């Protein structure tokens, strides 16, 4: 399994795309932090990038990579290796390369300019976001054999989490505004990894004072270590469940 992972990793690192992605992230981070003397502002701008670009790149790149290495996977399947280990090696290889790109591109500048607790929370949530979107990409890729369909599905997933979901939440809020929705909101956030990452970072930014009663409920939840651990575990769930489901599908799949 290690050997396969290593091979996948080498393959991706040789590919110039991840290098470009790293450089892009680094350039964006450095310019955000360098543009404004207030690192807080840089962090907020960076948060927008992390919530939009990182999931998009993660999910698209992973899907493309999976389809491109389909023949290689078929070849490996002919070897005495379990499908699970082949699949997980692929996953770990892709996830590791993208995480590395993220850590170098965003992690290093953030630690340089804002190496505080909030910076660390930003890095961790971005990292988990990368992992969970790679995971979702693998799920999308195993569902269909058709590359175009798989890509479409990935894009739909990204679109849903980045845009549609918040619109739906807004709709729910409008229709049920007469009810106390604080706890419901807390639950709804858990159903979207990008929202969860966003709220986690915002709560560290002391923005909750602005958020009124909802903010207070959120702050109560997220400011405690208990809440933070729960939020992180929910994000972890978002990493684990798609890839676990994908593995099951892949195991039974007729390649």
Partner 1 sequence: MSVLFHSLLLDHRVSPSFTRSHKKYPQHFSVQSCGFKTPRKAVSENGYAPAFSFLLFVCLNATFFLTSFSAQARTWKISPTQNFKRAVEQALPYDTLLIHKGLYRINNIIIDKPLTLIGQNFPVLDGQFKNEIFTITANDVTIQGLHFENVGMTSMIDWAAIKVLESRHVRIIGNRVRNSYFGIYLSASDHCLVQENDVRGNPKEEQNTGNGIHAWKCDSIRVENNRVAGHRDGIYFEFVTNSIIQRNFSHQNIRYGLHFMFSHKNGYFYNTFRQNGAGVAVMYTKFVTMKHNIFEQNWGGAAYGLLLKDISDSHIEQNTFNINTIGVYMEGCSRSVFSHNQFIKNGYAIRVQANCDDNTLVYNNFKGNTFDVATNGNVVLTKVAHNYWDKYEGYDLNRDGIGDVPFRPVSLYASVIERIPQAMMLLRSFTVTLLDRIEKIIPSITPESMKDESPMMKPIVYRKK
Q: Which residues bind partner 1 (CB under 8 A)?
A: 41, 44, 47-48, 51-52, 162-163, 166-167, 169-170, 173-174, 177, 181-182, 185, 189, 195, 198-199, 202, 206-216, 218
Q: Which is nearer to partner 1, 78 or 209 (CB)?
A: 209
CB of residue 127 vs partner 1: minimum separation in angstroms?
Answer: 19
Question: Among all chains, which residue has been given the structure tokens 């799920």?
Answer: 139
Q: Which is nearer to partner 1, 16 or 213 (CB)?
A: 213
Q: Which is nearer to partner 1, 106 or 199 (CB)?
A: 199
Q: Which is nearer to partner 1, 152 or 215 (CB)?
A: 215
Q: Which is nearer to partner 1, 44 or 81 (CB)?
A: 44
- Residue 28: enclosing H or E segment and its boundaries? helix 16-35
- Tokens in use for 55? 């999931």
Which is nearest to 199 in space by CA: 213, 183, 215? 215
Which is nearest to 199 in space by CA: 180, 185, 213, 183? 185
- Tokens in use for 148? 């175009």
Question: Which letter does DSSP use for residue 144 in this model?
Answer: -
CB of residue 80 vs partner 1: minimum separation in angstroms?
Answer: 47
CB of residue 201 vs partner 1: minimum separation in angstroms?
Answer: 9
73 C-beta neighbours (distance < 10 Å), count: 18
CB of residue 41 vs partner 1: minimum separation in angstroms?
Answer: 7
151 C-beta neighbours (distance < 10 Å), count: 19
CB of residue 247 vs partner 1: minimum separation in angstroms?
Answer: 31
The residue count of the chain comes to: 255
CB of residue 215 vs partner 1: minimum separation in angstroms?
Answer: 6
From the centroid of its chain, how far is CA 5? Answer: 20
Q: Which is nearer to partner 1, 52 or 60 (CB)?
A: 52
Give the torsion sign (CA, 52, 151, 143, 252): negative
42 C-beta neighbours (distance < 10 Å), count: 23
252 C-beta neighbours (distance < 10 Å), count: 9
């Amino acid at each position: 399994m290690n050997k396969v992972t290593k091979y996948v990793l080498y393959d991706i690192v040789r590919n110039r795309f991840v290098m470009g992605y790293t450089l892009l992230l680094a350039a964006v981070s450095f310019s955000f932090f360098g543009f404004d003397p207030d690192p807080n502002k840089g962090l907020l701008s960076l948060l927008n990038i992390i919530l939009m670009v990182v999931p998009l790149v993660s999910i698209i790149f992973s899907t493309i990579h999976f389809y491109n290495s389909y023949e290689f996977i078929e070849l490996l399947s002919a070897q005495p290796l379990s499908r699970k280990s082949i699949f997980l090696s692929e996953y770990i290889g892709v996830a590791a390369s993208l995480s590395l790109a993220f850590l170098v591109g965003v992690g290093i500048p953030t630690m340089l300019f804002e190496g505080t607790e909030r910076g660390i929370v930003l890095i961790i949530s971005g990292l988990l976001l990368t992992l969970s979107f790679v995971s979702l990409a693998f799920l999308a890729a195993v569902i269909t054999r058709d590359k175009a369909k798989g890509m479409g599905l990935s894009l739909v997933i990204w679109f849903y989490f980045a845009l549609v979901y918040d619109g739906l939440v807004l709709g729910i809020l409008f229709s049920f505004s007469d009810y106390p929705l604080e706890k419901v909101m807390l639950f709804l956030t858990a159903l979207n990894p990008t929202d969860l990452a966003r709220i986690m970072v915002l709560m560290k930014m002391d923005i909750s004072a602005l958020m009124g009663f909802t903010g207070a409920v959120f702050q109560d939840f997220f400011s405690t270590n208990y809440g933070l651990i729960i939020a992180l575990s929910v994000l972890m769930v978002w990493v684990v469940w798609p890839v676990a489901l994908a593995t099951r599908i892949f195991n039974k799949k007729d390649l």
